[in-house]
Structure 1
Amino acid sequence: MKPPPFGYHAPRSLGEALAALAAARDGKVLAGGQSLIPLLNMRLAAPAEIIDINRVAGLDTLEAGPAGVRVGALVRHARAERSAEAARVQPLLRLALRHVAHPAVRSRGTVVGSLAHADPAAELPAVLALLGGTVEAASVRGRRTIGAADFFAGPLESALAPDELAVAATFPALPPRTGAAFAEIARRHGDYALAGVAALVTVDEAGRPAAARAGYLGVAATPLVLDLDVSGGRAAAAADAAGRLDPETDIHASAEYRRHLAGVLTERVLHAAAGAARERGT
């Protein structure tokens, strides 16, 4: 299988990349290529121009600090997964990255590229949405920061304008007395999840769950975030969450089965996140 013809650009600076993207009649950005190349080869996408940003300096920074983890557009999944400092500041990032495809894909695929692809069955969009993270977009017109709640517009659709490049994403740091957990169910390890759940649980000074939020993948057109009432226990919270979901049936699973999986996984991650919060303390 071969891709359709396209014009190819290999800029070496951000300015050159943005100029090429602005001038392109129908341009697509190539970073890791783990989603774009298969789409091209299967002729499900036929852009007129490809802007390869792999030679652009300054887009491969990975910074972890008190505010969170900032990931540049050329940071590969594997690098973010291995970063001990990133895992310390926001452990949910590593927990989710371990479920992304296979090691070969993670060695090339990029964190920001996964976000820009905006697949509702992918792990990282759900994590960014749950954390209330942001994506930094740049174009020849300037820069802007897009919150996760506004970034994911629909299946495989983001808020990026045609001439905008996602240059970085920020995953906020884990708050005090809060633990994180992630779980998903796939037909085979590395496949897209039938359903997946990321959770944050905050405990009180006595170690009892006081607040919880969950981010869902594979059950809606965009990443879905729910605030959960844990006062009645995690089983009740999971049942309530499952009842609020409205997944679709497809060739892989029925809506009812996805709803069931989401409920089971919610209870599982609430338990794990509460335990992580107690271990972490303040």
Structure 2
Amino acid sequence: MKPAPFAYVRPATLDDAVAELAATDGDGKVLAGGQSLVPVLAMRLGRPGTLVDINAVAGLDGLERRDGALRIGATVRQRHVERSSAAAAVPLLGLALPFVGHRELRSRGTVCGSLAHADPGAELPAVALCLGAALEVTGPRGRRTVRAADFFQGAMTTAVGPDEILTAVQFPAAGPGEGFGFAELARRHGDFALAGVVTRVRSRDGAVAEAVLSGFGVSDRPVTRDVTELVRAAAGEADVETALRPGTEELAREMVDTAGDAHGSQGYRRRLFAVLAARELARAHRRATESPS
């Protein structure tokens, strides 16, 4: 299929981009990498009247570490982040990005584009949620910052208004005593995950101070839980992963609410989620305790 007809504009400044989007009266879409948007247009699942291409907008291609965070602009490609030494400040990005589509898609797709698209099976929204990322949104009323916990509101639905643009995201840099884990299972590499988990554990003086578990591909949006007490209770056992399993099985029953399909029943996804969660929480705990506090 081919996209329905649309108008195309390519502004050079952020103010012009916001003005062009506002002028569409809710009938416009922002184009950055296009790796999610273009297939939607081609299948006519979306029919915006205007595409506002922000690739020429100055200042949206920045990737820098400042004030204890990694700031990624709206037009920064996933592959650039994947290969950047600056991104080492956020280990979870290094763990997750190789699983985002294929290398060719990551060379064009953007980090902010994946977050704005908010596919419930996507990796980067779950990473943002697990880390407590801050998302910068710009519109006619100025710029505002939205916490990741408030950003994802449903399948392909975010806190970005129809006249606003996601202009950057800030991921907190890893601190001392932090460990991370990431895993997903898909039928083929690059496919959407049947279930995926993102984990973060912070230790202080050898004890668990904080633990967070996020999941994707298991609900209509990325989901997260504070699992500090669960990891703290298992930390003293000889086999931490095995000790975590009863708790992650209970979490799976709570967090995995997507219906079954041809690729896997709900029960299968819950079992898969429980196994991955226990494994990656144990891995994050080990990394956290091995990291200098």
TM-score, with normalisation over the residues of structure 1?
0.95
Find the aligned partners of 1:5 and 1:184 in 2 and give their Cα distance: 37
Q: Which residue of 2 aligns with 1:226?
A: 225
Aligned residues with identical type, % of pairs:
50
Instruction: Check whether the contact 2:8–2:53 (CA below 8 A) recurs between aligned residues.
Output: yes
**Counterpart of 2:55?**
54
CA distance in 1, matches of 2:128, 2:134: 7
User: 1:153-164 residue pairs with structure 2 within 5 A?
Assistant: 153-164=153-164
Residue of structure 2 aligned with 1:244, choices 250, 254, 258: 254
- AA matched with 1:106: R
1:31 matched to 2:32: yes
In structure 2, C-alpha distance between the alignment counterparts of 1:66 and 1:29, rounded to whole Å: 28
Q: In structure 1, what is the equivalent of residue 283 of structure 2? A: 272
Q: Measure how far apart 1:121 and its partner are.
A: 0.7
- Separation in structure 2 between the aligned mates of residue 241 and residue 139 of structure 1, nearest angstrom: 38
The aligned amino acid for 2:185 is: I
Contact conserved, 1:247 with 1:258, CA < 8 A, in 2? no
Out of 230, 245, 265, the position equivalent to 1:235 is 245
Instruction: Return the offset for 1:243.
Output: 3.0
User: Is the Cα contact below 8 Å between 2:77 and 2:109 reproduced in 1?
Assistant: yes
Are the equivalent residues in 2 in contact too, given 1:29–1:50 (CA < 8 A)? yes
Deviation at 1:116, TM superposition (A): 0.3
- The SS at the match of 2:29 is strand
The residue identity in structure 1 corresponding to 2:41 is: L
**Partner of residue 80, structure 1:** 81
Name the residue aligned to 1:106: 106
Query: Superposed, which structure 2 residues align to 1:47-196 within 5 Å?
Result: 47-87=48-88, 89-196=89-196
Q: Hey, what's the Cα distance between the residues in 2 that align with 1:147 and 1:244?
A: 23
Contact 2:60 2:75 in 1 (8 A): yes
Q: Is the 8 A contact 2:256 2:269 kept in 1?
A: no
Kindly state the Cα deviation for residue 203 of structure 1 after the two structures are TM-superposed.
2.7
How far did 1:205 drift?
A: 2.1
Q: Which runs of 5+ in 2 are unaligned?
A: 235-242
TM-score scaled by structure 2? 0.92
**Cα distance in 1 between the residues matched to 2:282 and 2:159:** 34
Aligned AA (1:160): V
1:201 CA displacement: 1.4
Shift of 1:246: 3.4
Tell me by how many angstroms 1:78 deviates: 0.5
Once residues 130 and 65 of structure 2 are traced to their aligned partners in structure 1, the CA distance between those partners, rounded to angstroms, is 18
Give the equivalent residue in structure 2 for 1:44: 45
- CA drift at 1:86: 1.7
| Counterpart position of 1:255 | 266
Partners of 2:92 and 2:45 lie apart in 1 by: 32
Q: Aligned equivalents of 1:241 and 1:202: distance in 2? A: 20
* Root mean square deviation of aligned Cα: 1.4
Worse overlay, 53-62 or 167-176: 167-176
Q: Which residue of 1 aligns with 2:12?
A: 12
| Distance in structure 2 (CA, Å) of the matches to 1:65 and 1:160 | 24
